[in-house]
Chain A
């Protein structure tokens, strides 16, 4: 038995057990990443007069930082991500709180509210497009007939952005609810009861007890959602094609539709890498903000 335990604790066994995952990660994750990294330094446009790849140094990156549409798309992506994620966290937390209590129809509600998670993003986009397309969708019809409000996502950029945020919130709030519910369920009762005995009100219990316990779950959830929100393409693309005009074109949609990226693989690769960099920076900033880590702080 002792020999078995010692063998299992051997680092070689650990590496052996990890190796299938590592091999898959290297083949399907790391190698394509390296490929994209290399291609980002080349001029490679399939429709160029000259065929093939030509070394371009940092030319693609230089072009990128002076590209107004790219900068616009970064700003819009951040706006979209902030609005969507804050809403999802707030609604997700409230729903999770509600689901910790008993109420009639709770089990049915819990099933129904996870339905959006089961739908593919492209289908979500199609459903919402049918709902909101001017002239055919019920939403513009109702808003026009009942409230005399002109709702046209093809014409008004703010409406397109708001609709995209609402669609994303509808789609992903159940995910946040489930993670929050898991976090809330894992909180021990004693600290909460102790705080109440000490006279803490609901807000104080939430702020000083619940939130610190929820922090790891919150952090993980927000990280996942940030990465998803920045990479959003399919549902928003399906909804309005990234429009109207250039006014609601997220980074990834812009990458798909921009003249430089759809057939210029070198430029497209540089956009992918910059997007990855921005995602890491955003996640790091958020990690610092939420976890409260400061320079010199000891873990």
Chain B
């Protein structure tokens, strides 16, 4: 017994010693690889989101400690991020060494040849290639950032889906359930159809009013001064009704039904009509709400259910300093029309947008080598789990099995499991090299529909015409 215990003790000692050596080796590798660049400063820009704030607050400091390379990471508003990155890359000014590439803009950046081929660059600089960094360890989301040869142009930084959140404390309250069933004749439950969603929304809005509570039936990301509203319609509501690729026919380059498009078609009109019909049941801030305000509204307990970006799910469900609904957040797939899930499973469609982005290195960067080290650092497996727990984003397959994520998963009502198992039902944005331009064309029509200045049919008809004009002007259309 004593002998066995001694052997076990020795084994444990050997294991700890080995781990220490590995850790020391790892430290040495980073320090050696970065020896030429220590003291250099690399600059990056991204949108201020939970995952990017984690990069700025935690990972940048860790990397600097290991390598001596300083990381200046600017987290700003979504539109400023785009403006700054595009202007820098187009003018070749070299202000930024790495930029956030949202999945939907990657096609534009690749078409303009803004980005360094990271796979090739690492192969050309073997001294800088970290063995703990493995491109094949990423989830399939990384495929959106690859070219036809499978070379990577961006290290995935975040990936998440827009889910249906609901307040369990309300949906499971016996009195509320009885009141709902009495009024609608069927049990209260998280919505599985649009009719049920509408009933839930109407019921909780009336309930909030009768109880003098600041409670409404749904969120709506309906800002009338921000593209967030267009995105919610085109990338969340539209696909859940079966409107894909923004209603633009990729072959004919047209959004109009007459030319093979679908932006002004029946499905699109039905989707927009439904979404707009939810406005009376949304909190008053809905017409000023972008994705941030929607998350804040839900976290403040002002909506019983809603469409919320998954990157916010973790903090809404767990962070008591920011959320009033911790412990009461239910997570489900967003509501879809009949046949949409089946089509998604067959690969003929998708139920919503698989959102996220990566960090890429512009050709204009003056510190490509140091930045390559940085991107490998944030792309290695060891930093993923805590990052995923803080930002509800997962880019590595192995992260799903991490104990930390398993623990967090239970607190977020299985969001991470949903991401792993149902993630393939979602899809990234269509491969448009004209993404931003066309979205900006659509914005005013969606916003005018929200304001009631245009009917859904008129708004989409005019939007489709405007899209076709813009595509023609850009050289992509008919």
- Residues on A lying within 8 angstroms of B by beta carbon are 45-51, 69, 133-136, 140, 150, 152-155, 157, 240-247, 257-259, 262-264
Contact = CB atoms under 8 A, between A and B. Distances in A.
Contacts of A46: 86, 90, 112
- Name the interface size band of chain B: 35 or more
B461 interface: no
B447 A244 contact: yes
Nearest to A155: B287
Given A46-B90, A247-B451, 8 more contacts: A47-B108, A134-B283, A135-B283, A240-B224, A245-B225, A245-B444, A263-B436, A263-B437
Contacts of B121: none
Contacts of B287: 134, 152, 154-155, 244
A240 B440 contact: no
Nearest to A45: B474
Contacts of B451: 155, 157, 244-245, 247
Given A152-B287, A154-B285, A135 B297 contact: yes
List 4 tightest A-B contacts by C-beta distance, closest first. Answer: A243-B225, A241-B225, A49-B475, A154-B287
A45 B223 contact: no
Interface string B72-111: 0000000000010010001000000000000000001001
B225 A133 contact: no
A45 B471 CA distance: 12
Interface string B155-189: 00000000000000000000000000000000000
B326 to A, nearest CB: 19
Among A140, A247, A264, find the residue whose CB has the most chain B CB atoms closer than 10 A.
A247
Nearest to A257: B440
A263 B86 contact: yes
A266 to B, nearest CB: 11
22 contacts: A46-B112, A47-B111, A47-B435, A49-B474, A134-B285, A134-B287, A135-B214, A135-B285, A135-B297, A152-B288, A154-B222, A154-B285, A155-B287, A240-B288, A243-B224, A243-B226, A245-B447, A245-B448, A246-B447, A259-B440, A262-B440, A263-B437
Contacts of A157: 451
Among A47, A247, A262, find the residue whose CB has the most chain B CB atoms closer than 10 A.
A47
Nearest to B297: A135
Nearest to B441: A259
A136 B436 contact: no
Interface of B: 83, 86, 90, 108, 111-112, 214, 222-226, 283-289, 293, 296-297, 302, 433-438, 440-441, 443-444, 447-448, 450-451, 453, 470, 474-476
Secondary structure dominating the interface of A:
loop
Contact of B437 (A45, A133, A140, A243): A45
A262 B83 contact: yes
B64 to A, nearest CB: 29
Contacts of B112: 46-47, 51
A264 B90 CA distance: 12
A237 to B, nearest CB: 8
Contacts of A153: 288
Given A46-B90, A50-B475, A262 B436 contact: yes
A240 B436 CA distance: 20
A262 B82 CA distance: 10
A47 B436 contact: yes
B210 to A, nearest CB: 17
Nearest to A253: B225
A42 B224 CA distance: 32
B119 to A, nearest CB: 24
Contacts of A242: 225
A154 B294 CA distance: 14
Contacts of A135: 214, 283-285, 297, 302
Contact of B223 (A51, A154, A247): A154
A259 B225 contact: no
Nearest to B437: A47
Nearest to B440: A259
A134 B437 contact: no
Contact of A134 (B288, B450, B476): B288
A50 B437 CA distance: 15
Contacts of A240: 224-225, 288
Contacts of B226: 241, 243
Contacts of A133: 285, 288, 293
A246 B448 contact: yes
Contacts of A45: 437, 474
Contact of B433 (A47, A155, A262): A47
A47 B434 contact: yes
Among B296, B302, B443, find the residue whose CB has the most chain A CB atoms closer than 10 A.
B443
Contacts of B440: 257-259, 262
Nearest to A246: B444
B430 to A, nearest CB: 14
B288 A154 contact: yes
Contacts of A259: 437-438, 440-441, 470
Nearest to B474: A48
Contacts of B433: 47, 49
Contacts of B289: 154
Nearest to A48: B474
A199 to B, nearest CB: 56
